[in-house]
Structure 1
């Protein structure tokens, strides 16, 4: 932590994703600095405002935030979640608990408090009730700048003139939200049109050596994160877009390549993770990016996310040239019926072509798989297994359908939601609505799907026979695991 040095009222930026609170992520140990928070810090600095950062990622717990409050004694605390970290969109119980504890502590310390993030956007009343003076919705950077300027000028500055806020409302306040009388909204903040106007993240504010040490200890190399765009134009009906909506905005290829060059020069990671929902929407952007990277001598191995329909040969060739070594694809299911139900807009032929094209260019093909979507039956699960067997992705990530507020999928299953509406941590995998099977069964399926990918090449025939037997056992169990059966499953 670096303390701001000016004599003006102190400003503390923070986020609430504590890696130590998530056992699965501790095991994976792939920590990335809070990108959205660091970009916000750079914007404040750009306008002459010194900031102190509390980085929860490597912290042991919220007690470290309390100690930071004591050391900094800030007049303003802004919790800016890293909205480019997909784990923040889940908002696990532990993350929300930490965030609310931080809000309360900052309020007790006498600071003005604002919060921005997916959960605060979806549930602003929770954060206002905890003591937040404002919840920031939409594009965070210009709103934080306006807020900090207002509060540094006067602690009780009127905030209704600042767009992009949710504010507490008194019982008789005529400005109250019609559906949520506990708060009122200011005018909507226009979306940022030119992302190139944003400065590069304030990398110097985080413990770079701490990140490097954790990565080297776990993986023998270290990775850092960048982002080239915001949002996603596709309309998968289970995907939440509380901050950017369906708008997709890209930085210019040259601007991203220059950040990559600067990152190599000042931070020096071995690898880069592009945290975009979709990296490089068009062939033209990706091909230009590859040329800009080459012109700067900035080629760095990187991982990214995309869609199978975008992985055309010319695109994959340009990605390989730019340094792509791993692409995560939203495959979701081996059943076309389920893909169509999700409004995914992809088909099985595209999955096969994309996977084979990536492999042909030496790029690892990794799949996101989603179990438990409405209408998924045992035959659909077996189709997913068969697709994995046939195409052999290099790695898979398996989850169950997770109802996120603001999605049409959430509205469809809303009446089926149980008391538990958030996972405890990212490996929870609890079914939170009445899917076809119970949670324990989906966990067994997840484990077997992972085994399909991990079985060693040596002795593959023996391993395959063993897996077949386990699938046969699971087939015999599946009727018992259906909702409403009430009979416990034996360990498979």
Structure 2
């Protein structure tokens, strides 16, 4: 276990590169520490592993008190690689990991990555307690919520404290995260064209709470739901509008509108914002079925553009297996009602669920094509079921002997190197059949979607993609030239022309789609 040499050093938190969603985990950790008077720096690990060593040298030169890393399970591999480099360079500060990567299997993950400490569960209070102990040179074994790796000897200090009252959450320090990486999210979707997001969208994520009221077999459930008040969320929204001039809010978790009462409160809250704004929600079809038409209309008038909903399967047997507490007919009816009010759904189907058969997946295919033909603006995606640690499916895989130990999943998942998405097959299908179904679903969806949107839209979307790639290549070429006022002005001018062209093409795309 490495001790801190610089007891007055900053806390460095290393996030994965930002893509699509704002990293609330790191933001709340940083916000809590900052409220306690700590100096916190957020760094972003390089996308290219070849740059890890140079990055580690830069971190070491900052002489921190500690370095924190980790989010979801796929992070375990790059985090482990970076920790290995830190150890090889004999860094003089402890390395701390956390997030859902750690909590389900804290001892295993702390040991396999070589970290000095693992944080179990929600980390704001626990990490601050660790920081305080390190600064005061106190024994960290007295801190609850830690895994301590003492030269391979693992110590679990038990469950730690967490923030129970959501009104006590710290302010999110958005300013620590480069806005160009998370604000213009619409630009990330050029290669996944849909009317849900627009090139010129400036979007901020608003957090609705912690935990989950549902119990799906493929999700890790770490706590009971705790809801943020709508007024607190609207305060975040007002700040975003004033500071970043956003035109859209993304409420990306199920807790925002977990009931009709919450949905009505949200409608009233949106009305208090300083300007007209659009927003996206995540919800469940069974919750939508409890929204009457007046409430859906009120949400639409308030600015609701998109709604993310988990379909998962078109087979009632599989929905019951997942524990969705949802009927296929509710899904069909929900799609019809969302179309009626002009709300764009984005949904997902998974393949390879427990005891799933070819007949079950065919029902998913049928549901996808049937609903798409009724509403061309449904955005479908497809994935293979993965039994991540901490889920009911992971326990079943262990019971069935498909996984004999945690190292089996670690080796099979191997996110950076694996060729196929299938890790553990819990279905009644062969591995090849599962992979074939994913290809069939994607092919059928693309073919039908292209037919429905029409040739004009298809041409515009391809043109937008080519322009985007060309602009990226041109920027990289100019950046290799000697940097001076002329090259900087050239890059600025080229990007401005590109942005205006994309906005114009976006307008015509949406016009021909019939959504303007």
Aligned to 2:430: 437
Does structure 2 retain, via aligned residues, the 8 Å contact 1:44–1:145? Answer: yes
Cα displacement (A) at 1:403: 0.8
> Which is further off, 141-150 or 97-106?
97-106
Give the alignment partner of residue 399 of structure 1, picking from 378, 383, 386.
383
How far the C-alpha of 1:351 sits from its partner, in A, is 0.7
Alignment of 1:444-455 (within 5 A): 444-451=439-446, 454-455=449-450
Structure 1 contact 334–384 (Cα < 8 Å) conserved? yes
Query: If each structure's helix is expressed as a fraction of its own residues, which one has the higher value?
Result: 2
1:109 matched to 2:96? The reply is: no
Contact 2:145 2:159 (8 Å CA) reproduced: yes
Alpha-carbon distance in structure 2 between the residues aligned to 1:252 and 1:348: 32
What does residue 472 of structure 1 align with?
none
State which of 60, 76, 96 in structure 2 corresponds to 1:96.
Answer: 76
**Hey, what does 1:476 align to over in structure 2?**
none
Distance 1:426 1:328, change over 3 A: farther
Q: 1:459 to 1:441 in 2, by over 3 A?
A: same
Q: For residue 334 of structure 2, what is the aligned residue in structure 1?
A: 354
In the alignment, structure 2 segments of 5+ residues that lack a partner are: 1-5, 191-198, 456-516
After superposition, the Cα gap between the structure-2 partners of 1:291 and 1:413, relative to the gap in structure 1 and judged at 3 Å, is same
C-alpha contact (below 8 Å) 2:7/2:135 kept by paired residues? no
Q: How many residues align?
A: 420
| 3-state SS in 2 of match to 1:416 | coil
Quote how far apart the aligned CAs of 1:129 are: 4.9
Q: Secondary structure at the match of 2:95?
A: strand
1: distance between equivalents of 2:28 and 2:360?
42
CA offset digits 1:230-271 (Å, max 9, x no partner): 121211122122xx33x1011100000110110121123333
- The answer to whether the 8 Å contact 2:125/2:161 transfers is no
Q: CA deviation at 1:105?
A: 3.9
Deviation, structure 1 residue 303: 2.4
Write the distance in 2 (CA, Å) between the matches of 1:321 and 1:427: 45
Give SS of 2:272's match: helix
TM-aligned CA distance change 1:117 to 1:309, over 3 Å: same
CA distance in structure 1 between the partners assigned to 2:283 and 2:118 by the alignment = 31
Cα distance, 1:428 vs. partner?
4.5
1:46 equivalenced with 2:35 (yes/no): yes
TM-superposed deviation, 1:421:
3.3
**Per-residue deviation, 1:228:** 1.0
Q: Please state if 1:227 is matched with 2:207.
A: yes
| 1:163 corresponds to | 144
Query: Alignment partner for residue 56 of structure 2, among 66, 76, 98?
Result: 66
Task: Work out the CA distance in 2 between the residues paired with 1:77 and 1:459.
Answer: 51
Q: 2:250 maps to which residue?
A: 273
- Deviation at 1:146? 1.0
| C-alpha displacement of 1:169 | 5.9
Q: Residue 198 of structure 1 is aligned with which of 156, 169, 174?
A: 169
Higher relative contact order (CA 8 A, sep 6+): 1
State TM-score, norm by structure 2: 0.74
* Cα 1:458–1:280 shift into 2, 3 Å: closer
Give the alignment partner of residue 323 of structure 1, picking from 292, 298, 303.
Answer: 303
- In structure 1, the residue corresponding to 2:142 is in which secondary structure? coil
Tell which deviates more after alignment, 206-215 or 309-318.
206-215
Residues 373, 401 of structure 1: 8 Å contact kept: yes
Q: Which residue in 2 is equivalent to 1:127?
A: 110
- The normalised TM-score by structure 1 is 0.77
The answer to whether 1:374 aligns with 2:354 is: yes
**Structure 1, residues 388-441: CA drift from partner, whole Å, max 9, x if none?**
222226101211111111222222223224751354489952242253032431
Deviation by residue 1:322-380 (Cα, 9 ceiling, x = unmatched) = 43211111111111011111111111121122212222221101211111112222221
After TM superposition, the structure 1 = structure 2 runs for residues 187-266 of structure 1, keeping only pairs within 5 Å, are 187-212=158-183, 216=187, 218=190, 219-241=199-221, 244-245=222-223, 247-266=224-243
Q: Is the 8 A contact 1:261 1:298 kept in 2?
A: no
Quickly say closer, same or farther: Cα 1:221–1:384, change in 2 above 3 A. Answer: same
Counterpart contact for 2:123–2:162, Cα < 8 Å: no
Pick one of 49, 65, 83 that aligns with 1:75. Answer: 65
Note the alpha carbon deviations across 1:204-239, whole angstroms, 9 max, x for none: 112113445785475343433221111212111221
